Amino acid sequence: MKTLLLFSLLTFNKADTLPTHIDSTDQKHVLKPGRLWAIGSTSLLTLGSTYVYLQRTWWNEKGVPFHFDEGRDLTYASGLDKVAHLTGGIFVADIYYNAYRWAGLSQRKAEWLALGSAAFVELGIELKDAYSPTYGFSWQDVAAGTLGGFWPMLQNRSGFLRDAQWKASYWQQTTKYFDERGIPQQRFSIDDYVNQTYWFSFSPEHFGGHRWKTSWPDWLQVSIGMGLDAQTWSVRHDGLGGRHEWYVAPDINLVKLFKPRRTGTKLLLGLLKYIKIPAPTLQIGPTLRWHWLYF
């Protein structure tokens, strides 16, 4: 998540005219080579810094020869990591699509290049995992991240998805991940899936008639979340990933609420749109529970 936010920040800083949402129409475009170079240099800077970060903090320079994952990745997080890779692919594709449009590419070219960029980033992540002492190269992760790369195409062709948002949240409710791994507690760990939740927010206005659509606030959304049950999750017993938790909560489309015009506001909302806003939340599985405020 830190990598995505860093890339977003660098891209939006350069993109003073970058749109805050995906356009459904392809208007006249003029290619701007300088902006394409800016996208390329920003990408290299971000990927390079990410490599150094992982080398020093995640693998801690304890790499092993290239190897494929032997199936652990399908169990240790009960598939939630696949949702994470899907979400990451969506984030990357969304950022790149808007960046390519800012650089003057047509909608169709920007869509395909965004898909390719998401696949390339995901492949790079897995090539790094291939030398990890804990993980390995996973084709399933590559497939999930690449699938997320289709998000701009789908949004441009669906009014319902155009208003929808994919989000993530991290709330350290338990230190179980650090305790069972025997590592010092951190404020955030990308592999701490027991404290991560992934959300799909949509606008209910698309499910009613004209009166319903005109009365429902276009910025108010409903969000469906997925996480892991900390009580059943464990890495000690063959990497069992625990039961899934499901949530329903209200959400806000910040762009539609504030309708930003200033560059600084667009930048801020461009970063915040990937993070689920804390809200009262109903947990509907595996047990029914009410959270007055879920982060």
| Distance in angstroms (rounded) separating the CA atoms of residues 283 and 292 | 11
Reduced DSSP (H G I as helix, E B as strand, rest coil) percent helix, strand, coil of the chain, to 5: 50, 15, 35
| Distance in angstroms (rounded) separating the CA atoms of residues 254 and 42 | 26
- Write down the pLDDT at residue 58: 60
Q: How far is CA 273 from CA 40, 138, 234, in A?
A: 23, 29, 31
- Write down the pLDDT at residue 31: 85
- Write down the pLDDT at residue 46: 83
| Distance in angstroms (rounded) separating the CA atoms of residues 186 and 172 | 10
CA proximity to 70, closest of 144, 140, 120, 142: 140
The three-class DSSP label of residue 102 is helix
Q: How far is CA 32 from CA 36, 45, 105, 106, 164, in A?
A: 7, 20, 8, 12, 30
Amino acid letter for position 266: K
Two tokens, residue 15: 């993109």
- Write down the pLDDT at residue 57: 65
Cis status, amide bond into 286, omega within 30 of 0: yes
CA proximity to 123, closest of 81, 80, 75, 85: 85
Low-confidence ranges of the chain (pLDDT < 50): 1-25
Q: Locate tokens 């606008």: which residue?
A: 203
